[in-house]
Amino acid sequence: MWFQWSEQRDYIDATWNCGYFLASIFVFINLFGQLSGCILVLSRNFVQYACFGLFGIIALQTIAYSILWDLKFLMRNLALGGGLLLLLAESRSEGKSMFAGVPTMRESSPKQYMQLGGRVLLVLMFMTLLHFDSSFFSILQNIVGTALIILVAIGFKTKLAALTLVIWLFAINIYFNAFWTIPVYKPMHDFLKYDFFQTMSVIGGLLLVVALGPGGVSMDEKKKEW
């Protein structure tokens, strides 16, 4: 946002015909919102407020850059939202129930549903990586990838499935989004760079799943009761 300030401003001005001043304000809000939110998250200060602010930035970008009408980019933005939802759940301290030991109170806690929502949204990233062609590698990748994202979504063998997805997504990201191999002046450099760091953010969300587990609304948790 900083190094391409004029390009971002001109794009918003041309797309929305909002004028130089309002376009500059948009770029500033975008830049300041992302930086301040990330700094607060990394420093572990006001994490919940930072998450809500970053949610707002994602929503703002979705509308301003017309991502709402591009299914692939929309699913990736939703996956980013899933990572933020998991971060928000991680930052929430479990509310103490007035009926200690009653399972229904624990199971219905907002944190558990945030973890469920975060897991489901995260797997949308992988749905954009599925390739519908007849090559053996694509078929194998689709089968294995689909199985893993289903496991993460329903919360079965969640940590192992999420860790496998982290490794798989990291390898795909390095191979397909190698923006450093493209000259800076070419538009493809920016597209690949955007995809690369967006994918790394989703990897961060999956690592939260590995670290924290699937939460109460999952098959892994239900197995403990069985």
Q: What value does the mean pLDDT of the chain take?
A: 86
User: What is the distance between the alpha carbons of residues 29 and 59, in angstroms, rounded to a whole number?
Assistant: 13
User: Which of residues 7 and 109 earns the better pLDDT score?
Assistant: 7
pLDDT of residue 35: 95
| pLDDT tens figures, 78-96 | 999 999 999 999 888 644 4
C-alpha torsion sign, points 195, 198, 201, 205: negative
| Burial of 137: CB neighbours in 10 Å, binned 0-12, 13-18, 19+ | exposed
pTM of structure: 0.81
Per cent of the chain over pLDDT 90 is 49
- pLDDT at 26 exceeding the cut of 90: yes
| pLDDT tens figures, 4-21 | 899 899 999 999 999 999
Q: How confident is the model at residue 225 (pLDDT cuts 50, 70, 90)?
A: low
User: What is the distance between the alpha carbons of residues 209 and 99, in angstroms, rounded to a whole number?
Assistant: 28
| pLDDT tens figures, 40-75 | 999 999 999 999 999 999 999 999 988 888 888 899
- pLDDT at 211 exceeding the cut of 80: yes
Lowest mean pLDDT among 54-68, 124-138, 145-159: 124-138
Q: How confident is the model at residue 181 (pLDDT cuts 50, 70, 90)?
A: very high
Averaged over 186-211, what is the pLDDT? 90
Helix axes 136-154, 110-122, angle to 10 degrees: 170
Helix (H, G, I), strand (E, B) or coil at 100: coil
